[in-house]
Chains A and B, each alone.
Chain A
Amino acid sequence: EDQVTQSPEALRLQEGESSSLNCSYTVSGLRGLFWYRQDPGKGPEFLFTLYSAGEEKEKERLKATLTKKESFLHITAPKPEDSATYLCAVQARGAQKLVFGQGTRLTINP
């Protein structure tokens, strides 16, 4: 069964304090790994897709990386507006369905 585990559940940082969020996954052949950002009461907002081990994608203060077993979302010098829940999801080869992790709730204090 495809599975995604995210850690930590919650992370509180000071503004400017860099850190990483982890997404561990097991999937029967990876077709894609996705990162989303979700603000309270809103729909998940697509951030990145990663397809193969070694791949990296960047957007502003965020960088996503992928290995064969996990993905990291690195956040560099975060600002309070980066506070949100970050969701990781995988799509298996031959499937259309996304399997989501529980998310990491990130809070950036000014």
Chain B
Amino acid sequence: EAQVTQNPRYLITVTGKKLTVTCSQNMNHEYMSWYRQDPGLGLRQIYYSMNVEVTDKGDVPEGYKVSRKEKRNFPLILESPSPNQTSLYFCASSFRNRGRAGDEQYFGPGTRLTVT
């Protein structure tokens, strides 16, 4: 089954304790992206990757890191989490520029993070 998976699905942690949220896709997509979703603010892009070893900042990258060492995986790293990073996080993936207009992104189930 084609899917995007994320782990963990729920996480409660304390300020300053490094954490990693994993994301994996089995659709051979080049493009992967991380979003956070907050009430009243909608989905905002954190980081994205156009392919292996190619990553770039989105709209709200402060406090986050990513890496793309393999095509299928795109982990999100919070080296020193703070309470303002409490949010619902989504990973998404898509093909890139397949010669047709528009590349629909497929989303993972989400990771609810609480930082106390």
Contacts and interface: CB of A to CB of B under 8 A. Distances in A.
Interface of A: 31-34, 36, 41-46, 49, 51-52, 87, 89, 91, 96-98, 100-103
Nearest to A9: B40
Contact of A98 (B88, B97, B105, B110): B105
Given A100-B43, A101-B42, A103-B42, A42 B109 contact: yes
A17 B44 CA distance: 33
Contacts of A97: 33, 45, 48, 58
Interface of B: 4, 31, 33, 40, 42-43, 45, 48, 50, 58, 88, 90, 92, 94, 96-97, 100-110, 112
A46 B94 CA distance: 11
Given A44-B107, A100-B42, A102-B42, A49 B102 contact: yes
Given A46-B104, A89-B43, 9 more contacts: A31-B101, A31-B102, A34-B105, A43-B92, A43-B108, A49-B104, A96-B48, A96-B96, A98-B105
A43 B36 CA distance: 11
A26 to B, nearest CB: 16
A41 B110 contact: yes
A91 B103 CA distance: 8
B39 to A, nearest CB: 10
Contacts of A100: 42-43
A91 B31 CA distance: 14
Contacts of A51: 100-102
Contact of B112 (A36, A41, A46, A103): A41
